[in-house]
Each structure stands twice: as C-alpha cells, then as structure tokens.
Structure 1
Amino acid sequence: MKKILSTFIIFLTFFLLGAGYYFSTSIVSFPVTSLEEDKTKLKIESVADFGLPEPESIRFQNGSLRLRGWYFKNPKKKKCGVVLLHGHTRTRYGVLKYAPLFWKRGCSLFVYDARHHGESAGEYGTYGFYEKQDLERAIEFFSEISTVPEEQIGIFGASFGAATALQYAEGRNDFAFVIADSPYMDMRSIIEKRAVDLYSPLVLFLSPIALSIAELRADFLVDEVSPKKAAKYITIPVLIIHSRTDEFTPVSHSEEIYQNLKSNRKQLLVTDWGAKHCKSIDLRFDEYESVVNTFLKEKTSFPK
C-alpha cells in the first residue's frame, strides 16, 4: 500500500510539474505574431490608412536586447511626441488606430514592438516587469532622434501596453502623461481570469505552479507586475479608458487602478458604447478623441 501511495505521489508530482511547465510556456513564451500576420489580421493596407506618412524604421538597444519599431516625424515640428504601446501578442500595427489622436496635433510618434513581440528580440514576455525598462530606453531614444524634450513626451498604451505604461510611471515626473486604454490591474489576476475563460475554474489549482515556473524561466516576480500597486506612486496626469462591456479584461481592473492613483490630475472614462476589449475608439472615434483632447487641455501642459 505504501509503495502504491509513493508511486501515486511521484506520478502526481511529475504531472503537476509537467502541466505547470506547459502552462508557463503559454504565459511567458507564447507564439510571436509577425508584422505581416498582424497587418493581415487587422486588415491594414498601409500606415496611410491612418493618415500617416511612411515611417523611419528604427532599432534601439536596452542592454543586449534589440527592439524594432517606427519613428513618424511630424512635419509640423511641434515640440511634442507620443510613444504608442500595443497589446499582448500584437505588434506595432495594433496601436496605429490611436495615432491620429496625436498626429493631427502636430506631434511626432514612436511605435515599437515590445520584447518577444513582432520584430523585437526577447525570449520571454513579462507583462510589464522588464518592458517598463525597455520603455525608459525607448523614450530616451525617441527624445534623442526627435529633439523633443522627454518632459513633452506622453505615453499611450492599449491593454498590456497600458499596464506597462502605468508601471513605468510609478514615482516618475519626467514625462508628460499616460493614457491607458483597458489595462489589467495585475498579472496574477489577469492570467487566472484568462485561464478560467479558456479552460475552467478547475485550472486555478495549477496557476500557482505555472506562475512560479514562469518566474523561474523568465527571471522576474509575478507579484511585482501590478499597475494597481504602481498607481499609489503615480503623480503625473493619467487618463484611463475602459469599456463597460469588455469581457476580456473586466472594467473593474481600471476602476481599481483609478481608485489607487495618487495623482490629482486623473480621469476615468467608462464607455457604455457596447465595445469589446480596446474597441471603444473603433465605435465612436470623435467622442473618444474629444475626451482625449479635453484631458490634454485641462490636465496637462502638453502643447495645444
């Protein structure tokens, strides 16, 4: 009987570790979408679809990691710039729909693929843990090539990009603002939410194992990935936008972040437009743009 029990325990241990490793792969080593695949999926013909000229292809380094993206130099030559951050498993194409919000204002734009996304290098994605460091280097590089002061560079992020922007903003006052569309409040809760959506609540018993293995593989700390915690130390202007009918990332995530924000120049827009995840701008662009313009005018010193 003892031998049977020991064999069962060994088998169960190996099963849990194997299953945990498998799920950790989907968490931090997910398949990378190519630029062409994303462009096709989004039905984009070219950047001209968004009123943009052909960009300058750029490469920049964060340590040994090489990241790739586009630099759009605005002919109006205003001293303002915006970094646009795409969502999880997407590429820089996925965030171009937001570009007209700032291009029409005369601002130059900087769009790049996050690590382990698109054309950028990186074996693992860490939901903002290392990506916020990449963002710091991106802003420095953008400022260097555009001559726009970092204090006049804002950040717009969608979903994972929004969460990264908020984590980067923790304790900083050396850039203009954050606009975050549909962020998650922390890595653990969004991973568990999506696991339940894809499989069943029964998979939750595996999530601590999978997340622990993911931490070891990618050398980071899951509980440190938390825009909600970061919000307590954010003092710059922040606009959060989230659809009430977002089933992918519940609106409660943005509400929790907003409640934690230390900044007294903050705004939360919960849209009731029937939009899916990060789709509010697709349904009512003019209203979306109006909210962004009002925020920039009333809450920031960004060039008009």
Structure 2
Amino acid sequence: MKKILSLFIIILTFFLLGAGYFFSSSIVSFPITTLEEDKTKLNINSVVEFGLPEPESIRFQNGILRLRGWYFKNPKRKKCGVVLLHGHKRTRYGVLKYAPLFWKQGCSLFMYDARHHGESAGEYGTYGFYEKSDLERAIEFFSEISTVPEEKIGIFGASFGAATALQYAEGRNDFAFVIADSPYMDMRSIVEKRAVDLYSPLILFLSPIALSIAEIRADFLVDEVSPKKAAKYIFQPVLLIHSNSDEITPVSHSEEIFQNLKSNRKQLFITDWGASHCKSIDTRYKEYESIVNSFLKENTTFLK
C-alpha cells in the first residue's frame, strides 16, 4: 500500500510540475504577435490614417536587450514629448489610435515594442517587472534624440502598458505625467482572472505552481509586479481611465490603484459608454480627448 501511495504521489507531483510548466509558458513565454499580424488584425493600412508622417524607425539598447520602435518628430518643435506603451501581446500599432491626442498638441512621439513583443528582443515578458527599466531607457533615448527634457515627457499606457507606466513612476519625478488606460492592479490577480476566464476556477489550483515556475524561468518576483503598491509612491500627475464594462480587466483594478495614489494631482474617469477593454477611445473619441486635455491643462504644465 505504501509503494502504491508513494508511486501515486510521484506521478501526481510530476503531473503538477508538468502542467505548471505548461501554464507558466502561457504567462511569460507566450507567442509573439508580429508587426504585420498586428497591423492586419487592427485593420491599419498606414500611420497616415492617424494624421502622422512616416516615422523614423529606431532601435535602442537596455543593457544587452535590443528594443525597436518609432520616433515621430513633430514639425511644431514644441518642447514636449509622449511615450506610448501598448498592451499585452500587441505591438506599437496598438497605440497609434492614441497618438493624435498628443500630436495635435505639437508634441513629438515615441513608441516601441515591449520586450518579448513585436520586433523587440527578450525571451520572456514580465508584466512590468523588467519593462519599467526598459521604459526608463526609452525615455532617456527619446530625450537624447528629440532634445525634449525628460521632465517634459509624458507617458501614456494601455492595459499592460498602463501597468508598466505606473510601476515606472514609483518614487520618480523626472517625467511629466502618466495617463493609464485600463491598468491591472497586480500580476497575480490579473493572471488568475484571465486563467479562470479561459479555463475554469479549477485552474486556480495550478496557478501558484505555474507562477512560481514562471518566476524561476524569467528570474523575477510576481508579487513585486504591482501598480497598486507602486501607487503609494507616485507623486506626479496621474489620470486613470477605465470602462465600467471592461470584460478583461475589471474597473475595480483602477479604483484600487486610485485609492493608493499619493499624488494630489490625480483623476479617475470611469466611462459608462459600453466600451470593452481599452475601447473607450474608439467608442467616443471626442469625449475621451476632452478628458485627456482637461487633465493636462488642470494638473500639469506640460503644454505651457
């Protein structure tokens, strides 16, 4: 009987480790969407559709990691710039729809594929843990090539990009603002939420194992990936926008982040436009633009 029990335990252990490893791959080593695939999926023909000129293709390094993106130099030559960060499994094409908000203001723009996304290198994606360091280098590089001071560079992020921007902002004052559309409050909760949506609540039995394996594989700490915790040390202007009908990331995530924000220049705008995840701007562009413009005028010196 002891031999049978021991054999069962061994088999169960190997099964759980195997299943956990498989699940961890979907967390940190997910399939990469190419630029062309993203462009096709989003039905984009050209950046001209967004009132933009052809960009300068750029590449920059963060240590040994190579990242690729676009630089749009605004002919108005105002001393302002915005870095735009795309969502999970997307590419820089995914944030083009937000570009006119800032291009019309005369600001230069910088957007790039996150590590393990699009044309950028990187074996793993870490939900903001290492990506916040990539963003730091991106802002430095953007400032160098545009001559816009870092304190006049704002950050706009959508979903995963929004979460990355908030984590970058922790304890810093060398940027103009963060606008975060539909961020998640921490990695553990969003991974488990999406796993349940895709499979069933039974997957929660595996998630601690999968997340632990993901930590080992990608060399990071899941519980340190938390925009909610980072918010306690953010003092620069922050605007959170979230649809109350978001089916991917519940609006409660932005509400939790907002409650933790220490900045006295913070706003939370919950849209009731029936928009799905990161689609508020698609649903009512003019109203979305008005929210952004009002925030910039009331809480920053960005456009002055």
**TM-score, normalization by structure 1:** 1.00
- For residues 67 and 24 of structure 1, the distance between their equivalents in structure 2, rounded to whole angstroms, comes to 24
Structure 1 position 303, deviation (Å):
1.3
- For residues 277 and 97 of structure 2, the distance between their equivalents in structure 1, rounded to whole angstroms, comes to 14
Structure 1 position 51, deviation (Å):
0.5
Within-5 A mapping of 1:167-182 = 167-182=167-182
Within-5 A mapping of 1:1-304 = 1-304=1-304
- For residues 254 and 151 of structure 2, the distance between their equivalents in structure 1, rounded to whole angstroms, comes to 25
Structure 1 position 25, deviation (Å):
0.2
- Report the 3-state secondary structure (helix = DSSP H, G, I; strand = E; otherwise coil) of the residue aligned with 1:185: coil
- For residues 47 and 8 of structure 1, the distance between their equivalents in structure 2, rounded to whole angstroms, comes to 58
Amino acid at match of 1:230: A
**CA deviation string 1:2-33 (max 9, x = no partner):** 11100000000000000000000000000000
**CA deviation string 1:35-71 (max 9, x = no partner):** 0000000000000010000000000000000000000
- Report the 3-state secondary structure (helix = DSSP H, G, I; strand = E; otherwise coil) of the residue aligned with 2:286: helix
Identical-pair percentage: 88
**CA deviation string 1:98-144 (max 9, x = no partner):** 00000000000000000000000000000000000000000000000
- For residues 184 and 303 of structure 1, the distance between their equivalents in structure 2, rounded to whole angstroms, comes to 28
- For residues 254 and 49 of structure 2, the distance between their equivalents in structure 1, rounded to whole angstroms, comes to 30
- For residues 45 and 293 of structure 2, the distance between their equivalents in structure 1, rounded to whole angstroms, comes to 28
Amino acid at match of 1:168: Y
Q: What RMSD, in angstroms, separates the aligned Cα atoms of the two structures? A: 0.4
- For residues 221 and 151 of structure 1, the distance between their equivalents in structure 2, rounded to whole angstroms, comes to 29
- For residues 137 and 26 of structure 2, the distance between their equivalents in structure 1, rounded to whole angstroms, comes to 27
Amino acid at match of 2:21: Y
**CA deviation string 1:128-174 (max 9, x = no partner):** 00000000000000000000000100000000000000000000001
- Report the 3-state secondary structure (helix = DSSP H, G, I; strand = E; otherwise coil) of the residue aligned with 2:111: strand
- For residues 162 and 303 of structure 1, the distance between their equivalents in structure 2, rounded to whole angstroms, comes to 21
**CA deviation string 1:173-223 (max 9, x = no partner):** 011000000000000000000000000000101000000000000000000
- For residues 41 and 56 of structure 1, the distance between their equivalents in structure 2, rounded to whole angstroms, comes to 23
Amino acid at match of 2:268: L
Amino acid at match of 1:65: L
- For residues 162 and 7 of structure 1, the distance between their equivalents in structure 2, rounded to whole angstroms, comes to 47
- For residues 240 and 157 of structure 1, the distance between their equivalents in structure 2, rounded to whole angstroms, comes to 10
- For residues 103 and 276 of structure 1, the distance between their equivalents in structure 2, rounded to whole angstroms, comes to 25
- For residues 133 and 248 of structure 2, the distance between their equivalents in structure 1, rounded to whole angstroms, comes to 26
- For residues 264 and 158 of structure 1, the distance between their equivalents in structure 2, rounded to whole angstroms, comes to 22
Amino acid at match of 1:229: K
**CA deviation string 1:225-256 (max 9, x = no partner):** 00000000000000000000001000000000
